[in-house]
Structure 1
Amino acid sequence: MIVIIGSVNMDLVLRVPRMPAPGETLAGEKFMTIPGGKGANQAVACARLSAGGARVAMVACVGGDAFGRQMRASLVANGIDDVCVDTIDGEATGIASIMVDRDGQNSIVLAAGANGRLDVEHIERARALIASASIVLLQLEVPIPTVLHAVEAAHALGKTVVLNPAPAQALPRELLQKIDYLILNEIEAAMLAEEQSDDIPQLADKLHRLGARNVVVTLGEKGVYGSFGKAGKRHQEARRVKAVDTTAAGDTFIGGFIAALEEGRGEFEAIAYGQAAAALSVTRAGAQTSIPMRDEVIL
């Protein structure tokens, strides 16, 4: 089983001809509300991209509002166990305000809402669920003390711990030492490695020295760099597609990668599967609306 501990947001998506300049009022195009949040996106990607019968569960908080009800329904509709998704009455569900331009690039502002209420007590109540998992996946859109506690708990239980350290921020070294797979982009890699460098192998080596066992650096249209123990190190080129919207491409990659690991595939095969899924996702609009089903992904 895969357990995802993280954020649930409703995405408020506005298509724009281009990004507005500071102080500028710009006429937008299409507006949509689409289920999102890094945690929920990755959970949906794991569920859709896993082999039949693979169980996916989420530990999260939603608000006692219409968005919260919609987000829970979306998780359940994707086959995700919501027993540890708590509703916080009197709190708004997290939202992401997203502008997407005609080139498919996006600009995102978050309001944490109920995500900020996911605390250590929630992790303790979910300990039995975590104990039944093989892989535990986390991000940084919920409070850092909660992430630290969850990583400690999962590590102590002998689980494979995967961290996507996004949004980018400084993290204590002791956290990295409990991470089995660190999956991050080049900006996050430079920040965590504390080096102003675009030398990806160098950054990955530094992250290994800081404690991360395996490092996967996503490079957008430039591909993915994987640095693993037994499997070695290699850069894999991205598939060439026409991007419509890059929202949740990274989350889709992570879901595909984790689903493949859960099936017992090797790391570089898992990267290829995640890349194929992500390439398909960017040809579609939205976060969870863009994540493909397993039978759509061709390696």
Structure 2
Amino acid sequence: MTPRVVVAGSANMDLVGLAERLPRPGETVLGDDFVMIPGGKGANQAIAAARAGGKTAFLGAIGSDAFGVTLNARLDASGVDMSRVRTSYGSSGVAVIMVDRAGENSILVSPGANRSFTGLTDDETATIAAADVLLCQQEIPLETVFAALRAGRAGGTRTILNAAPARDLPAGLLDEVDLLVVNETEAHEITGGAVGGDVMAALLALVPRVVLTLSGAGSRYADRDGADAHVPAFRVEVADTTAAGDAFTGALAVAWGEGRDILDAIRWANAAGAACVRKVGASSALPTRDEIESIYHAA
């Protein structure tokens, strides 16, 4: 089965500087290299889902500038259906990313056209309702995230929210989420400071299923049926962690949409994250299905 995945989210041009270390506040550091790579959490996860084998459509907004042309071309070339993407007069979203030689990063995002993605059309709502899985993040207006999740729930589409970046959520939004994907910082923000063994219980009071990503330690899954399991990471040489979370989440949407057992879907998504961190960049580092499979089956 080839799952139909809809990603409603952001598209940014990533301006990536590589250096020996990240600069401290007020400091200038001489860099090693600079590249421009199409990215944005929504676009990255759409590309990740398409490369992982999902029939993927992207809903979002790009600018009328040269960055917008490049963003559209990159997603289209990656197999993402771009027929419903809006073009907003002005600048596209931009992310300024600094990466050190250990693969750690620091990111500043200017939303640009992503701010204009408001008020879902009837066609966008129907596209969500016809999908197997809807995947949202939080780099677009939260009222649009809320509307997309409601459309998914109303249409019987499985809904996934990657609650990144961490933001204050409007009341009721999490009621529309089937599966929440968060890292430890985002979990802390959503629960108001719960830590340790309390964090999963606090999250499960809000949503029926949770995946807590733990960077190099893998992932933890829990649900209201009593499941609570750690899914270990795959060990690879790390070049850049920038898009690892997007590779993971896009692959998870595909694997869950294929009908895999959720723990196996998470393990497969961990393999996607591992394949991604071996390369520098965002969309350029997102792995193909064959690359994911090679790590998944090698362990």
Shared fold (TM-score, shorter chain, > 0.5): yes
User: In 2, are the aligned partners of 1:256 and 1:277 still within 8 Å (CA)?
Assistant: yes
User: How far apart are 1:124 and its partner, in Å?
Assistant: 3.9
CA distance in 2, matches of 1:275, 1:214: 17
1:244 aligns with 2:239: yes
Q: State the one-letter code of the partner of 2:205.
A: R
Match of 1:99 in 2: 98
User: How far apart are 1:134 and its partner, in Å?
Assistant: 1.3
Match of 1:59 in 2: 59
1:128 aligns with 2:122: no
Deviations 1:169-200 (A, max 9, x none): 12134111110000010110111111242x1x
Runs of 4+ deviating beyond 2 Å: 122-125, 228-231
User: How far apart are 1:255 and its partner, in Å?
Assistant: 1.1
**1:149-298 equivalences in 2 (<5 Å):** 149-197=147-195, 199=196, 201-210=197-206, 212-230=207-225, 232-297=227-292, 298=294
User: How far apart are 1:260 and its partner, in Å?
Assistant: 0.6
User: In 1, are the aligned partners of 2:204 and 2:224 still within 8 Å (CA)?
Assistant: no
User: How far apart are 1:105 and its partner, in Å?
Assistant: 0.3
* SS, match of residue 116 in structure 1: helix
CA shift in 2, pair 1:123/1:213, >3 Å = farther
CA RMSD of aligned residues (A): 1.3
Gaps of 5+ in 2: none
Over the matched positions of the two proteins, sequence identity in percent amounts to: 42
CA distance in 1, matches of 2:283, 2:262: 24
Q: State the one-letter code of the partner of 1:214.
A: R
CA distance in 1, matches of 2:182, 2:171: 16
CA distance in 2, matches of 1:231, 1:265: 19
Deviations 1:63-103 (A, max 9, x none): 001110010011111111111111112x1010100000010
User: How far apart are 1:202 and its partner, in Å?
Assistant: 2.1
CA distance in 1, matches of 2:129, 2:231: 34
User: In 2, are the aligned partners of 1:231 and 1:267 still within 8 Å (CA)?
Assistant: no
Q: State the one-letter code of the partner of 1:115.
A: N
Q: State the one-letter code of the partner of 1:244.
A: A
Match of 1:5 in 2: 8
CA distance in 1, matches of 2:216, 2:161: 22
Match of 1:40 in 2: 43
User: How far apart are 1:123 and its partner, in Å?
Assistant: 4.5
